Structure 1
Amino acid sequence: MTNNQFFDVIIVGAGAFSCFSALLLKQKGMNVAVVYSENTSPMESFLQTLNTCWPSLNDPPTRAEVAHGHEVALYLHEFCIKGLNYFKETLLPLIEDQNNWLEADCFRIGAKDFEVEELVDAFNLGFGLKKTENASVFKEDKSSLICLNSKLFQENIIKSLAKNNVTLIPYDVIKLEERQSKCILELKNNSIIESEIVVLGSSLNIAKIMPKFQSILIPMSDSLFEYELDNPENSQFKPINLRASNGHICASVFNQKDKIKIKLSGPRFLLPGAGAGFDLTKKELDNKVFQNIEKYHREIVFNLIANLIPNHNIFINKSVELISKKILVDCYPCDELPLLGEYGKLGRILGNTGWLATGLSSGSWAASIICELILNEKSLELHSRLHPRRLFTKFVNN
């Protein structure tokens, strides 16, 4: 016997997927710990996003159709829809944050002819799009959700973790060992903790803990710009989300008191190397990069947004002020197919990653699936193609 602290489940990472998994497992009576980097707090990464729960993948569904076939593409599309519903109906009530979210119309836009063709193909293949009066704009069947106050959302999740007695451990994991009877984790403060099961949810750090993932998981950097403009007449409109066909531009637009808030990520193609394969948060970028992105927003994206707002004069006739600009980083797998399920060799290390820019919807549904795997050693909701099949392992019944 050791004197090391022992848990039923240790979750590495404190983003949406990790926190939701912890809360769901605690609801089932499990002893759960969430381990995350020092000098950070749970859900901190959410503050640096568009704060949107999307009803579909970021990439165009036609990309998954070509790469993985119709069955897998449809499964991935429905994964996000199920996650959105689960987030709204189960998780928001669990953390008591229902009143902090707005339902928004969600649009896909083709800025160029080939992008419009992609959207037409997606429409014909049944990927949840509806035509609009504008041939280059499609509306998604399902609405998205926009968070009004991201700090409040974070606070409510942290309160829920505390109320449910989830143990929070703010130290990096530097070593993970899987044994037949348990998992052993060494932390940066030299302490050792143990558990029956480990769940990996910190996408960018999975490869550090399990080096065999280094060739599989790739960083993807993007930008986040926040703008606002005065709305003294308090002209109201339904909030909107929009994404370019290829997912390189995403936006949230909504009223907040006497302001109109606009959050924009992308376009990635204006970043060095289009952001692919780089963690640009660790590099100093030339200010010209930010200037070019802002120029693109003002000359192209703002016009796209204005055309989606009924009384668009309130938008185009006023000065839009840049409030903040940041570089973010996410993670995606080398073949763009998300990884979910077993990450180890003995059925004791599970994980989830690769849902680029759709962390709330995909993370919600993945958390539900991970809980099923831990409790029942199987889930009917998990497609076999999402297993980290490159490792040639299988979920083992211990």
Structure 2
Amino acid sequence: MSDYQFDVALIGSGPYACFTALLLAEQNMSVGLIIPENSQPFDSFLSSLSACWPTLNDPPTRADVAHGHDVALYLNDFCSKGVHFFQDKLLPLVGDSDNWLASKCLRIGLKDFEKEELVTAQKLGFSLQKTAQDGVYLENEKALLCIDKILLQKNIINALNKLKVTVISSKAINLKETQNKCFIELNNKKTIESEVVVLGNGLDIAKLIAKFEKYLIPMSDCLYEYEAQTDKKIQIEPLSFRASNGHICGTFIQDENKVTLRISGPRFLLPGAGAGVNLTETKIPDKTFINVEKFQQEIVFPIFAKELKYASLNDFTNTFKFNLATIKILADCYPCDELPLLGEYGKLGRVLGNTGWLATGFPAGAWAAKITTDLILNEKSPDLHPRLRPRRLQTAFIKKHED
């Protein structure tokens, strides 16, 4: 006899897992959410740029070359659909609509080859508008920036409780799929029985399903948060940007009399360029952190100064006497071929999952949650592209119901 019985059990605590849990619970399904020990749902969001990006982080030209124009356009639109679904459906569901600001979103080429990528991306129809500045493009869709991350997490947890999602703090150590049920063994010696299991964390997928361990590799990044006090009478428009190569992202947002400048990356200054090295388990020399901060202040700060209409970098830094409030190292997994995986992960149609949305897990997680809910309720989804299905495992569940 299992200790818990659910219609659906989800493993993960990030946006995708929480959003899927909310959508399924809203349909009166019994839902269990397994999150890491000593944590809360949505903890990972607290260590992020707090942004809902309108497009993928990686340059769209890479997807175009690797997977073809049709797939590249689909991936490009995936996040924009996620932003709208998040804003129109999920924010009202959790009561957090007033906690977000729309921000213009820039795509910037720092080197000649990056600028060329952006020129090509615009010609291929990837949602970019050329600005008057060399190498600076504007995304067609705006990004959404969270004002208060703690408030969002509180509202997510309240919504999970209100919809009677059972949150279990433990680690899944074994997963078994049968014709009729799925069984999850936890390291607290308890077991879960459910009709369907949804895997929402790449690190967990790699550990629970051996076949994925070969090509779900760690991807590491860093987050620096700079804060400064300002006169709340002076209203400053929020701003977000990403470098063409996706290695650097930044947001600037004002909340009352405080401004926060968040910068992620550059990953290429981290060991192994951030790929294949789980930096949460690796000793990082102090020199690395110094070099990252130096790069940000010499290369990234001037971007914000210019876009926010300051006469010079000195004018910008003298206006906002920034204090480096937070330095964090982040780790996730992504497919080694960089094509996200979404859909069936087992052999019998009872194990679904999602991974691989590098640095855009928030908007992509929202849209992927919608697709996963479709799959569970209807056994298919019109919004799932066939290339995003796991390619190296059996896909009896989806193929059986294709039209």
- Give TM class, smaller chain: over 0.9
- Counterpart check, 1:231 vs 2:233: no
Following the alignment from structure 1 to structure 2, what is the Cα–Cα distance between the partners of residues 73 and 14?
28
Q: 1:356 aligns with which of 352, 355, 358?
A: 358
- Counterpart check, 1:94 vs 2:93: yes
Letter in 2 for 1:185: I
Please give the residue correspondences for 1:299-338 in structure 2 after superposition, counting only pairs within 5 Å: 299-311=298-310, 315-318=316-319, 319-338=321-340
Letter in 1 for 2:43: E
Following the alignment from structure 2 to structure 1, what is the Cα–Cα distance between the partners of residues 21 and 271?
37
Cα distance, 1:7–1:288 mapped onto 2, change above 3 Å:
same
Q: Corresponding residue for 1:245?
A: 244
Letter in 1 for 2:162: K
Q: Corresponding residue for 2:347?
A: 345
Following the alignment from structure 1 to structure 2, what is the Cα–Cα distance between the partners of residues 44 and 82?
24
Following the alignment from structure 1 to structure 2, what is the Cα–Cα distance between the partners of residues 334 and 298?
31
TM-score between both structures, scaled by the size of structure 2: 0.96
Contact kept? 1:341, 1:386, Cα under 8 Å? yes
Contact kept? 2:15, 2:361, Cα under 8 Å? yes
Following the alignment from structure 2 to structure 1, what is the Cα–Cα distance between the partners of residues 310 and 3?
62
Q: Corresponding residue for 1:143?
A: 142
Matched pairs, number: 397
Letter in 2 for 1:54: W
Following the alignment from structure 2 to structure 1, what is the Cα–Cα distance between the partners of residues 386 and 220?
29
Contact kept? 1:84, 1:364, Cα under 8 Å? yes
The SS at the match of 1:255 is strand
Please give the residue correspondences for 1:134-173 in structure 2 after superposition, counting only pairs within 5 Å: 134-173=133-172
**1:236, CA displacement in angstroms?**
2.2
Q: Corresponding residue for 2:187?
A: 188
Cα distance, 1:32–1:111 mapped onto 2, change above 3 Å:
same
Following the alignment from structure 1 to structure 2, what is the Cα–Cα distance between the partners of residues 385 and 3?
36
The SS at the match of 1:18 is helix
Q: Corresponding residue for 2:102?
A: 103
Following the alignment from structure 1 to structure 2, what is the Cα–Cα distance between the partners of residues 27 and 67?
38
Please give the residue correspondences for 1:254-273 in structure 2 after superposition, counting only pairs within 5 Å: 254-273=253-272
1:60-115, Cα deviation, whole Å (9 max, x unpaired): 10010010000000000111010000000000000000011011010000111111
Following the alignment from structure 2 to structure 1, what is the Cα–Cα distance between the partners of residues 394 and 165?
33
Contact kept? 2:346, 2:394, Cα under 8 Å? no
1:206-244, Cα deviation, whole Å (9 max, x unpaired): 111111110121111011000023323743221011000
The SS at the match of 1:307 is helix
Following the alignment from structure 2 to structure 1, what is the Cα–Cα distance between the partners of residues 60 and 332?
19
Letter in 2 for 1:57: L
**1:385, CA displacement in angstroms?**
0.4
Structure 1: runs of 5+ lacking an equivalent: none
Contact kept? 1:237, 1:310, Cα under 8 Å? no
Q: Corresponding residue for 1:21?
A: 20
Instruction: Indicate the RMSD between aligned Cα atoms, in angstroms.
Output: 1.4
Structure 2: runs of 5+ lacking an equivalent: none
Contact kept? 1:129, 1:141, Cα under 8 Å? yes
Letter in 1 for 2:361: G
**1:3, CA displacement in angstroms?**
4.9
Following the alignment from structure 2 to structure 1, what is the Cα–Cα distance between the partners of residues 359 and 373?
22
